Chains A and B, each alone.
Chain A
Amino acid sequence: MGGHHWLSHQLSSIVGEPTEIGLSHATEWVLMAVSVSIAVIALLMAVNIYRKKTDEAPTSFIGQFFYNKWHIDELYNTVIVNPLNRFAGFLKNSIEKQVIDGAVNGTGKLVQYSARQLRLIQNGQVGYYILFMVLGIVLLFLLWFNDTLLLRFFHNLIK
């Protein structure tokens, strides 16, 4: 008996040759006989039930259970589909929009905000300008006398 493995070489250039998983012919026959007889029994049962009534929903508990396909759809929806959808919605609406895009747009807003604030320094009062000039000169002197420190800092930055 046994089938021919005519598809087994399709990916051999990528994954290598497949190894044979052999079953004895007796096992194959037994497996076929069992599965065919289960199918035949189920077929006969179905004919027996649906010959009498057609569209009515069953009333017994077991009947209901099978009528609703073992409630697999409901179970699947509650356990997998709905949590998955909620999680995806959370990522889309909160994380993506507010956290990540918020950080990006926030950078832009911060720049604009600081520009608006810094603009206030240009207020036309000469006293302020002199103050800033003196502060600038002090800063320059500080840098001047600490040039080795500064050079070392830039050196480390590049290294």
Chain B
Amino acid sequence: MLLSFILIPFVTALLLLFIKKNTSANTIAIVSTLGTLVAAIVVAGKGAVDFNAPWIPVLNAQFLLHVDGLAKILVLLTAISFPAIIIATSQNQPKQKNIFLSLLLFTQSGLMGVFLSGDALLFYFFWELALIPVYFLSSIWGGEKRIAVTFKFFIYTFLGSLMMLIGIVFVYMHTSDQSFLIQSFAKANLTGGQQVTAFALFFIAFAIKMPIFPLHTWQPDAYEQSPTAVTMVMSAVMVKMGLYGILRWLLPLFPTAFMAHIHVVVILSVIGILYASFIAIRQDDIKRLIAYSSIAHIGLMNAAIFSHLQIGIQGVMVQLFSHGINVLGLWIVADIIEQQTGTRSMQQMGGLAKKQPTLAILLVGFALANIALPLTNAFVGEFLMFNSLFQYNVWVGAAAGVSIILAAIYTLNMVQKVAYGEVSTQINQMQTINTPAQIVLIVLLIIVFVTGVFPQPLFDLTADSLQQIIVK
């Protein structure tokens, strides 16, 4: 069953390489991702499941897949995001659609593998499988500055991945049974100093991926220049790899080193939250605004993990899902506007509410979720995370709390510039929005409000992982 999450996208991706016809390529990709979604919903309803097979016997590496609450929530997010992205952007994908979609599905396969791996070497394998197609997607179909930007993204993330690989080999050499399994890693004989070394090697990889201030400068560039479908994958799902890595690997494996570094990381994260929020206020490019807003939100999640309180980690687990849904909605709206007007500059927008009332309502809906207004999904997670930061330290909590106001400033500013005012010439060019994209947006908005009013299923889903992480 678990294998299907990796195999369905992987096999479809291979198949797509031979489908030259664009419409059939698109249909196959959508059917495949919807199939994965059904599988994800079925698995989410079950208890913890394992899949185990020998992989590289010489190294004692195993193909171990394991699903628990934390993995379920991210598998579900990945499974929802991909069909949504492919359907919403189907009208503006490039000419060699089959290759584009194929690379996207390889990424999905890698992402699923990252969230399911119970073996460190397998985790690293999938980590790279998720990243490499993105390099191709961005460098072939990106914007004008794609080569320079993708190169920067590549150097940054590859440096992180290699650090992690060194860390994995380092811990592997200290396991008593020479194994990459997460259980063996947790029992590895590391002295205090060795634990700090391993912690640092893993943490750099995760910190770049999230990204945490000051390692974030690849992100706004990459989000701006990549094809929007790829940007959506990166910001809705891929940045969660870093947070997931911390919750699944860093915290349980190196608890002593983790506790020794909580203050540094929390303070760095809070600086990052405020820093990114301030920069978002001054952005005119709508894509860069969403990018900086995302850096701020991810920073908050990281700070909440490192405040190391049950309530904060609970909030993060729910927010992993909610942030993905919200940011995806914002990207789809931004993409529709950019495709139809040819601009990303908010100065050239205005009057969307008069020209395209439905799209404007959807934009406002996702904007409110971005501010984490009560009744939206983000409120639940952010409330818990802020609560945890206040318990950790009142001043840190207060500083992070300022970001709520800043988020309201830049988000409402964006709504004001895009939706209200006189209809600009660019916005006036807009024509009817295709129905599939609208349906995707409406479904996402329903998820925003349903999980905002009734978040209990998300809490129930992650309860088992929360117990495990806290007990350790």
Binding site for B on A (CB under 8 A): 11, 13-14, 84-85, 87-89, 91-92, 95-96, 100-101, 104, 108, 158-159
| A158 in contact with B456 (CB, 8 Å) | no
| A104 in contact with B283 (CB, 8 Å) | no
Main secondary structure on chain A at its contact with chain B?
helix
Q: List chain A residues, Cβ under 8 A from B214.
A: 100
**Interface segment out of the listed B189-197, B342-350, B420-428:** B189-197
Expressed in whole angstroms, the minimum distance between the Cβ of A54 and any Cβ of chain B is: 27
Per the bound structure, the CA–CA distance linking A139 and B431 in Å amounts to 72
Check B34 for interface membership: any CB of A closer than 8 A: no
| A87 in contact with B278 (CB, 8 Å) | yes
| B160-198 interface code vs A (CB 8 A; 1 in, 0 out) | 000000000000000000000000000000010110010
| A96 in contact with B384 (CB, 8 Å) | no
Q: List residues 108-141 of chain B with CB under 8 A from any CB of chain A.
A: none
| B197 in contact with A158 (CB, 8 Å) | yes
Indicate which residue in A84, A95, A104, A159 contacts B152 across the interface (CB closer than 8 Å). A104
Known: A14-B383, A159-B193. A100 touches B282 (CB 8 A): no
- Given A91-B279, A92-B283, 5 other A-B residues pairs in contact with their CB atoms under 8 A: A11-B383, A14-B383, A91-B275, A104-B217, A159-B194
Indicate which residue in A13, A84, A88, A100 contacts B217 across the interface (CB closer than 8 Å). A100
CB-CB nearest in chain A for B281: A88
Per the bound structure, the CA–CA distance linking A101 and B197 in Å amounts to 27
Q: Can you list 30 A-B pairs with a CB-CB distance of less than 8 A?
A: A13-B456, A14-B383, A14-B384, A84-B278, A84-B281, A84-B409, A85-B281, A87-B278, A88-B278, A88-B279, A88-B281, A88-B282, A89-B282, A91-B275, A91-B279, A91-B282, A92-B278, A92-B279, A92-B282, A92-B283, A95-B275, A96-B217, A100-B214, A100-B217, A101-B217, A104-B152, A104-B217, A158-B197, A159-B193, A159-B194
Q: List chain A residues, Cβ under 8 A from B217.
A: 96, 100-101, 104
Per the bound structure, the CA–CA distance linking A89 and B275 in Å amounts to 11
Per the bound structure, the CA–CA distance linking A89 and B282 in Å amounts to 6
Question: What's the interface size class on B, roughly?
Answer: 10 to 19
Binding site for A on B (CB under 8 A): 152, 155, 191, 193-194, 197, 214, 217, 275, 278-279, 281-283, 380, 383-384, 409, 456
Q: List chain B residues, Cβ under 8 A from A100.
A: 214, 217
Per the bound structure, the CA–CA distance linking A108 and B154 in Å amounts to 13
Q: List chain A residues, Cβ under 8 A from B193.
A: 159
Highest count of chain A CB atoms <10 Å: which of B193, B281, B456? B281
Highest count of chain A CB atoms <10 Å: which of B155, B214, B380? B214
Expressed in whole angstroms, the minimum distance between the Cβ of A100 and any Cβ of chain B is: 5
Q: List chain A residues, Cβ under 8 A from B197.
A: 158
CB-CB nearest in chain B for A89: B282
Per the bound structure, the CA–CA distance linking A14 and B281 in Å amounts to 32
| B278 in contact with A158 (CB, 8 Å) | no
Q: List chain A residues, Cβ under 8 A from B282.
A: 85, 88-89, 91-92
Ordered nearest first, which 7 A-B pairs have the shortest CB separation? A88-B278, A88-B281, A88-B282, A92-B282, A92-B279, A101-B217, A91-B278
Per the bound structure, the CA–CA distance linking A87 and B402 in Å amounts to 15
